[in-house]
């Protein structure tokens, strides 16, 4: 598949993406060396502490064989000056609709490669907040004509999507 021209409504915050997304620990967080429950625990972050999020992944590295309803995303943070990971659903985000750094461009490219042709047009629309994480719906107009159709729903904190 080829690249496409996205018809996305970028606001100034999107155009000048921050280097981190601000969140708070909704509960005491277990900090992991990699995104997954089986990885080394580096320490804890107390409930209420400010957490800077530098990225996200849709599922843990060790969750590939899990049922999809059991899988969840992980947020990349800095802990003792090194990158580490915490469960995304245990964070409370200052703005649920801010994209975690690096997530938007990576996931849009992945979706385009898989599902969108050169002539198609797409757009993103805010579609709701679940567990303090914002979701966007990507719509597609096939061959750039006709009605808009729902393609996928994307979690802007982790890049998880489903269509």
pLDDT digits (tens, 9 = 90+) for 44-86: 999 999 999 999 999 888 888 887 767 789 999 999 999 999 9
Q: Which pLDDT score is estimated for 65? A: 82
Q: Output the pTM of the full model.
A: 0.83
Place of tokens 């042709």: 117
Q: pLDDT confidence of 22, banded at 50, 70, 90? A: very high
CATH of domain 21-93: 2.30.30.40
**Cα angle: 55, vertex 153, 30; to 5 degrees:** 35
By CB atoms closer than 10 A (0-12, 13-18, 19+), residue 6 is: middle
CB distance 96 to 129 below 8 Å: yes
By CB atoms closer than 10 A (0-12, 13-18, 19+), residue 121 is: middle
For the beta carbon of residue 14, count every other beta carbon within 10 angstroms: 15
In the predicted model, what is the mean pLDDT of residues 32-37?
A: 95
Domains in the chain: boundaries: 12-16+100-162, 21-93
CB distance 157 to 133 below 8 Å: yes
Check the CA dihedral 118-115-5-121 and report its sign: positive
91 CB contacts (<8 Å, ≥6 apart)?
23, 24, 25, 26, 29, 51, 53, 75, 132, 157
Place of tokens 């400010």: 50
């Amino acid at each position: 598949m080829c690249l496409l021209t996205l018809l996305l409504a970028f606001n100034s915050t999107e155009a000048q993406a921050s280097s981190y997304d601000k969140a708070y620990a909704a509960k005491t967080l277990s900090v992991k060396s990699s995104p997954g429950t089986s990885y080394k625990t580096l320490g804890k972050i107390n409930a209420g502490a400010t957490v800077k999020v530098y990225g996200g992944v849709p599922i843990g590295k060790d969750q590939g064989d899990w049922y999809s309803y059991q899988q969840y995303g992980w947020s990349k943070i800095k802990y003792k000056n090194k990158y580490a990971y915490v469960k995304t659903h245990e964070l409370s985000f200052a703005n649920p609709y801010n994209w975690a750094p690096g997530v938007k461009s990576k996931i849009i490219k992945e979706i385009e490669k898989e599902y969108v042709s050169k002539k198609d047009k797409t757009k993103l629309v805010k579609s709701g907040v679940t567990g303090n994480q914002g979701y966007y719906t990507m719509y597609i107009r096939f061959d750039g004509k006709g009605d808009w159709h729902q393609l996928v729903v994307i979690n802007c904190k982790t890049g998880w999507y489903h269509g």
